[in-house]
Amino acid sequence: MKSRLPKVLHPVGGRPMVGHAIAAARELDPAELAVVVRHERDLVAATIAELDPAARVVDQDEVPGTGRAVECAMEALGEIDGAVVVLAGDVPLLDGGTLAQMLATHHAQGDAVTILSTQVPDATGYGRIVRGADGAVEAIVEHKDATPAQLEVREINTSTYVFDAATLRRGLASLDRANAQGEVYLTDVIAFARKEGGGVRAVMTDDTMSVEGVNDRVQLATLGAELNRRTLEHWMREGVTVVDPGTTWVDVDVELAPDVTLLPGVQLHGATTVGEGATIGPDTTLRDTEVHDGATVVRTHAELAVIGAGAKVGPYSYLRPGTVLGPKGKIGGFVETKNARIGEGAKVPHLSYVGDAEIGEHTNIGAASVTVNYDGVHKHRTVIGAHARTGADNMFVAPVTVGDGAYTAAGSVIVKDVPPGALGVGRSEQRNIEGWVARRRPGTAAAEAAAAADPGATDHSTTSGVGHPDQERKAH
């Protein structure tokens, strides 16, 4: 992968690859689930603990190879009986349904080993399934150890197995490292089982992409695109409209209700949920965000936010964590919010920042308003009550409260609480310094325009009372 991040932690569909393997395994309802780790052990183990706290993390020692990895797991699990399912951590599209079919075949046939295989046009790099005259599997031969005749085989091993526990334990004890890579091969257990007279069967899947592994970023992107295609197909069959699947990306843990519409350029990540009849997009990215029924979200970036039923957001809105927009509320164009509760029917229509704030129901916030929440050391909260009307270009210097039904004047800096029903005015009285342009900007287009509009404008310097340059500079 040429990456500092361990391969199995690279995300596909919003979930680390090892997370896909764990999720598929959990669909079988196993008595025990163990994940074997080695490279970047602590980082991988921490991720596993987040994904599935009940999973057992098993450390592989310095002996290399898949056989040794499984042997370490078996030692950690102790004297277990029954079927043991083994998965690779870098096969993100393998699902629990395929595993369940494979396990059912294993039990029905009473085999010692069941292998999941597939056929590919180019088997370079893969272990080959070698069958006997009766069609049973005799062995799996790794590419580097294969004969010229075996290299022609197109049926490959997918690194997915079901073993009888007792056979697996005995087979692992017999393994050595006598091969081209000097590793302990799990695949050698197949030949061991055959020698013991146990049945070895390969269950072939036609869904080649579902068993593809990832070894570089090209394959990562290819499988990511395929998983996204499958995810979108699933949701479309569940009643979701996806206008342009080619530009729409939906993570595997996202939940969508019927009659949701996803317009071009939509990305839905993490644990995002979208309610019935909502429209998302175009050009919208939501992460871990709740969108309730009938809401509309246009050209917006949101993370850890809640958008109420029938609410409208966008265009060009940025909802940061902790934003809660009530039903039928509005966050409009070029508005940023953070840790803010905006009540039912309340509106922040345009060009504003609302952070660490609470806005009551049916209140309207004027354009270009800011809740000044940070004093350089601590964050403070602004509270604006219900049915309030704030003027354009207001600065609310927190902590401050504007009461229910109150108004604030345009251009105000609100530093004190405004009682309910009051008008808060926080600005100085306007002064006009007449003749200033003619005196201070003579010969400019502005001076010419002023003279044309008021031919007597140049005479005002004697009557303004503030003609001294120092006074003018101070006024300016």
Give the active site residues.
350
- Is residue 359 exposed (0-12), middle (13-18) or buried (19+ Cβ within 10 Å)? buried
- Is residue 256 exposed (0-12), middle (13-18) or buried (19+ Cβ within 10 Å)? buried
Contact status, residue 142 vs residue 185, Cβ threshold 8 Å: yes
The helix/strand count (H/E) of the chain reads as 11, 37
- Is residue 79 exposed (0-12), middle (13-18) or buried (19+ Cβ within 10 Å)? exposed
**Residue 321: cis peptide before it, omega within 30 degrees of 0:** no
- Measure the CA dihedral 182/90/107/143, to 10°: -40
Number of neighbours of residue 265 by Cβ within 10 angstroms: 17
φ, ψ for residue 377, nearest 5 deg: -130, -50
φ, ψ for residue 459, nearest 5 deg: -90, -5
Residues in the chain: 476
**DSSP characters for 54-83?**
TSEEEE--SS-SHHHHHHHHHHHH-S--SE
End-to-end Cα spacing for the chain: 61
Residues 6+ apart with CB under 8 A from 191: 138, 139
Residues 169-190 as b or e (16 or more Cβ within 10 Å = b): bbbbeebeeebeeebbbbbbbb
- What does the longest C-alpha to C-alpha distance in the chain come to? 116
Contact status, residue 266 vs residue 282, Cβ threshold 8 Å: yes
Contact status, residue 451 vs residue 445, Cβ threshold 8 Å: no
Residue 461 is classified by DSSP as G
382, β-bridge pairs: 357, 400
Number of neighbours of residue 310 by Cβ within 10 angstroms: 18
**Cα atoms found within 13 Å of the Cα of residue 12, Cβ hemisphere only:** 33
Question: What is the C-alpha to C-alpha distance for residues 316 and 298, in angstroms, rounded to an integer?
Answer: 7
Contact status, residue 383 vs residue 371, Cβ threshold 8 Å: no
Q: Give the containing element (helix H, strand E) for 148.
A: helix 148-151
